[in-house]
Structure 1
């Protein structure tokens, strides 16, 4: 696997050269092995045929010496084998199998004769052993035996190997030269495509096309790549158009939001200014009403009957409620215009002060206060006093029918904000109308049941919003309510 991975990491040029080299080398090896085997076998058969033919010729020369029992002539006849270079030794046996003559003549007649085949040729330990009968007119006169080496066969094989090796080297060299010249027809288009792809990846310019390169597989690849570029260009144009439309839409929405925000801010300022003006202007007639009520009480109270006194009391209570409403409205208007002045605020201290302020309303009541450990924050001190006064005041007001009244005050930290809460077991409210709680003049109980103006919680909401916080409530009818508000908290305040 590691070798295959090495090949995979080669360049296209190197892969082509390596593949051609392997193919040519394999083809040459197979071809030359076949030629060498065929030539070796042919040379071997030729050598064996020549040895048998020489054995027959020498045998024919030895017919007369054997027939006349002439050893000298037999020795001269068998010495003809000296022209056969591969023959190292030879024996001429008579018909009784005794040595009649030997070659070379330096050998002794009585030298031992190794085992030869009965007839024909055999190869044993790198030597040919040839046995051929000497026959005259159908009568066997003797046997010619000789031993031949295979040096000629080895020399021929060595020459052939050298020749084929040189030829293979030449063919490989020619093949490599041709591959070095011709590989460009395959690798160059592919490398051009790779470089072209890299350039497109860097520039992200799809408005280009490759020049076609023939009708082969590479040409088909070029064609498909051009089709892909065309599709990518079309999608890019569609995306650019969509992005431009989104930008224009966002710009239009931002403009509309800005306009609506400016209109809302202007309307709020006008509303606050109007509320302040109305509240301020209403004080004058309210003072007149209270003044005349006071005169009526001092001068004509004894002249009024019971119904008249009831009317006077109703007018007085309505004027008092109207005064509270004007005061709350003025305070709400001032809250909208006030700037937040952040400073470290000790929430525990403010809560204690608030409970003390409300003591006149709680001194004759049975109230169980449950105040937890409070987290201090950076906020506007005056505004935080107003928030706690409204929330704790509401808890005191809406638990007046409970014995004992339970009011729990606490906080919790989550992430980068702290959440404060005031929980009571008072009248509660229906969660279906929870969204009305923090609106101006929005009340869920009648004034006869629980007096109020409907502005306190609206002020709480506005103050908390100025501090980038949130306010919400949970409750259930006759089971109490919990009011929450959250404020951002700095790490050093945790």
Structure 2
């Protein structure tokens, strides 16, 4: 049977669920890596611009303003000292110098990376140096009496120099302000880009999740749902339902395997239906055969018995009335006829008893074998007494069976043990009983003539005799009836090949406390 999964031919037709999952996971990881990289770049860019604005642009502008304030304080102190000559005005000048130095120390590294702001700072420092050299230090170093004269002499030069310095400071601050404004715009753009980037990342994640869900639904969930629904239909008895094979290759292969199993089940069901039909026909034949057997038993017990009794009666009457009046050959012929009629009557009765096993007597109940055994011994009391047989037995249990059939079983076994005794020794018969699981194992052992190994299976066949009727009378039905009775009760029977001298017949019967066995039907 072809196990290749059905499905459309294509580039990906042989991909299994594992292949699709691996491809889907790989594609998802690539997409997430790309959008994650873009999101990381947006975050880095925003952080870089923020750092530039917070750590360089804004501090540079602030320090430039502080530098200007420190120079204004110095200029105010020098002008006040030059006009009044009071040394108190030199204190703002000294403080302004300290603030100037601190502001310049902070501005230099902040403007080093930008050529324009670095040039602005260099121009400011040059003009500061000119103002200090020409105006501030000479006036501050002059005595109070000469400070006014020196200040008046250099008033114009000092004003022009400080105005140039002020213009340079304004120009520097204008450049720093424009750079800070540009950095602010860059920061806003970066933040906007970052926000859009994260919105795109969120949309991509939602799209990927939707695609994964839809892919799982179409590729795995829906095919499994359809396959499960079809399998449930099959399990409910709709074996004609085809199982669809869709989705990845392994799911199609699974559907194909399950469908193959369905077809095999359908074939087995058809075969079972055919077998059941044949069994029904055989049962009908068996029922008809049983009916014919019933009719035969009726004929044998009524129609055949009556003429047989007449033949037997008249031959016996002939023997009594004309015995001794005819020649010896005539007496012999009459004796043959009487003996044949008697044996025929015994044989018919034995056949009737054999046919009734499992058919007429079929009342299963708890049976006390002690009572059945005692009745069988009592029925054979004459033969036992004449043969001098000694019978011993273990305590016999209760079993499940039919009392009449079990009585026939014990009577046949004990009768055979007495009948086939050895002429060299008195018969000794021993009956044992041992529990084995749900069954009792019985054994009837004697010290008689025994049975040769090659005949130990044949003695259970109907009409099998090992001796002539003159040596041992009988019809050869006894052990066949025992086998039928034991097997009807669900047991087994056989001969122990290791027992000597004599014969040991072993059989099993269900115990009374064992689980109920299914009822057995006996065939004709």
Change (3 A) 1:386 1:19: farther
8 Å contact kept, 2:494–2:507:
yes
Give 1:134-283 correspondences, 5 Å limit. Answer: 173-196=195-218, 197-204=220-227, 225-278=247-300, 280=302, 281-283=304-306
- Per-residue CA deviation, residues 379-437 of structure 1 (Å, 9 max, x unaligned), is 33223212221222222223345635443323344444444443334444466666544
Alignment TM-score, normalising by the size of structure 2: 0.55
For 1:224 and 1:198, locate their aligned partners in 2 and report how far apart those are by CA, in whole Å: 11
Between Structure 1 and Structure 2, which shows a larger proportion of helix residues? 2
Quote the offset at 1:205 in angstroms. 5.7
8 Å contact kept, 1:409–1:422:
yes
Quote the offset at 1:27 in angstroms. 6.4
Change (3 A) 1:297 1:317: same
Name the counterpart of 1:363.
385
Name the counterpart of 1:351.
373
8 Å contact kept, 2:32–2:205:
no
Consecutive unaligned residues of structure 2, counting only runs of 5 or more, are: 1-24, 61-92, 106-136, 138-183, 231-244, 517-524
Of residues 450-459 and 30-39 in structure 1, the stretch that sits farther from structure 2 once superposed is 30-39
Quote the offset at 1:353 in angstroms. 2.0
Quote the offset at 1:187 in angstroms. 2.6
Match of 2:102 among 81, 85, 110: 85
Name the counterpart of 1:375.
397
8 Å contact kept, 1:471–1:484:
yes
Change (3 A) 1:28 1:365: farther
Quote the offset at 1:181 in angstroms. 0.6
Match of 1:474 among 470, 495, 509: 495
For 2:190 and 2:450, locate their aligned partners in 1 and report how far apart those are by CA, in whole Å: 105
Name the counterpart of 1:119.
none
Match of 2:348 among 326, 329, 332: 326
> Does the residue aligned with 2:395 lie in a helix, a strand or coil?
coil
Of residues 26-35 and 250-259 in structure 1, the stretch that sits farther from structure 2 once superposed is 26-35
Give 1:379-390 correspondences, 5 Å limit. Answer: 379-390=401-412
8 Å contact kept, 2:494–2:505:
yes
Name the counterpart of 1:96.
none
1:295 aligns with 2:295: no
8 Å contact kept, 1:413–1:419:
yes
| Alignment RMSD (CA, Å) | 5.1
> Does the residue aligned with 1:476 lie in a helix, a strand or coil?
coil
For 2:491 and 2:481, locate their aligned partners in 1 and report how far apart those are by CA, in whole Å: 13
Aligned residues: 369
For 2:316 and 2:42, locate their aligned partners in 1 and report how far apart those are by CA, in whole Å: 131
Of residues 360-369 and 26-35 in structure 1, the stretch that sits farther from structure 2 once superposed is 26-35
Change (3 A) 1:443 1:181: farther
8 Å contact kept, 1:344–1:378:
yes
For 1:288 and 1:39, locate their aligned partners in 2 and report how far apart those are by CA, in whole Å: 142
8 Å contact kept, 2:365–2:401:
yes
For 1:430 and 1:179, locate their aligned partners in 2 and report how far apart those are by CA, in whole Å: 98
For 2:199 and 2:454, locate their aligned partners in 1 and report how far apart those are by CA, in whole Å: 91
Change (3 A) 1:283 1:399: farther
Change (3 A) 1:33 1:339: same
Quote the offset at 1:375 in angstroms. 1.8
Give 1:60-79 correspondences, 5 Å limit. Answer: none
> Does the residue aligned with 1:410 lie in a helix, a strand or coil?
strand
Change (3 A) 1:35 1:378: same
Quote the offset at 1:348 in angstroms. 0.8
Match of 1:395 among 402, 405, 417: 417
Name the counterpart of 2:121.
none
- Per-residue CA deviation, residues 109-151 of structure 1 (Å, 9 max, x unaligned), is xxxxxxxxxxxxxxxxxxxxxxxxxxxxxxxxxxxxxxxxxxx
- Per-residue CA deviation, residues 136-181 of structure 1 (Å, 9 max, x unaligned), is xxxxxxxxxxxxxxxxxxxxxxxxxx99999998776544422221
Quote the offset at 1:230 in angstroms. 4.0
- Per-residue CA deviation, residues 315-358 of structure 1 (Å, 9 max, x unaligned), is 44444322321221233344464142344421111112212222
Name the counterpart of 2:113.
none
Higher relative contact order (CA closer than 8 Å, sequence separation 6+): 2
Quote the offset at 1:487 in angstroms. 3.3
For 1:168 and 1:367, locate their aligned partners in 2 and report how far apart those are by CA, in whole Å: 122
> Does the residue aligned with 1:85 lie in a helix, a strand or coil?
helix
Change (3 A) 1:22 1:183: closer
8 Å contact kept, 2:315–2:337:
no
